[in-house]
Amino acid sequence: MIKAIAVDMDGTFLKTDKTYDEPRFDKIFQQLKTNDIKFIAASGNQYAKLKSIFGERDMYFVAENGAVIYEGETLYDHQAFDRKLYQDIVDYLNITRGMNHLIVCGLNSAYILKDNPESFKKDAHFYYRQLEEIDSLQDLPEDDYVKIAFNINRQTHPTLDEDLQKHFEGKLEFVSSGRDSIDIIIPGVTKGHALKRLLKIWDLEADALMAFGDANNDYDMLKLAKHSYVMENSDDKSLFDVANHVAPSNDQQGVLSVIESEVLNK
């Protein structure tokens, strides 16, 4: 019996225009609560961004690709980089490789450089509701740092993935939330890892979990869940191998359709 449902956001729960059918979801959400089924937004996004999508609903948030877990407005759990290691990675990207368009992500806020172009700032503000502009990436504010986000230019940095792995062997991992959008995360701290921790706390097995995703950072979440769905619109072929089912596309609100047909109407 399904007792928990985890959904990715962009390309999965949200339509291409970043909206969802709120009245339809409200009805579904109330039915899930009545049936004691937990609903989890599992995303690479910041917690504040997820809250802005769902409002005051009594649900769970797995944010920053699994590094941060909230129950409603209460911090449930988080895991942060060693501060020196984090600064070394930032310095390598910013100083050694000359990359300025970085979003350094802490528990309290995300941070970007003040002298970044306005177009970059606009995009960053869309995805990070708690965002501060700082003078230097070598003088980071006090925070617990959980992730570094950036877009790779494969023409100017064709070997960046390999170079980082070689320079920081075993000390970081990459996940992609789509195309050239890259997150550097703590090894093993993923959406799937966060969901395992929650299932253990709730005394549930993986066969009680339903999960939906469309990108590389959803892989281990889909591998974990017995009731796993890759979105029809996904460009990641590996997800079609690991997921047990295919859901209609995000623009067809496939997540809501599957929950209605496979959970609430059975």
CATH code for the domain in which residue 87 is found: 3.30.1240.10
What pLDDT does residue 96 have? 96
What pLDDT does residue 164 have? 94
Query: Are 176 and 89 part of one and the same domain?
Result: yes
What pLDDT does residue 110 have? 98
Among 87-96, 153-162, 226-235, 241-250, which is the least confidently predicted range? 153-162
Query: Are 74 and 91 part of one and the same domain?
Result: no
Tens-place pLDDT, residues 140-178:
999 999 999 998 877 888 899 899 999 999 999 988 876
Quick one: pLDDT band at residue 265, thresholds 50, 70, 90?
Answer: confident
Tens-place pLDDT, residues 19-61:
999 999 999 999 999 999 999 999 999 999 999 999 989 899 9
Query: Are 101 and 63 part of one and the same domain?
Result: no
On whether the CB atoms of residues 140 and 111 are closer than 8 A, the answer is yes
Tens-place pLDDT, residues 61-76:
999 999 999 999 999 9
Which residues are catalytically annotated?
A: 8
Determine the Cα–Cα distance for residues 169 and 123; give it in Å rounded to an integer.
Answer: 31
Measure the N-to-C terminal CA separation of the chain; round to a whole number of Å.
11
CA distances from 134 to 116, 122, 151, 256 (A): 10, 15, 19, 40
Query: Are 225 and 178 part of one and the same domain?
Result: no
Domain span at 44: 4-78+189-264
Last residue of a domain, one of 185, 211, 234: 185
Last residue of a domain, one of 137, 170, 185: 185
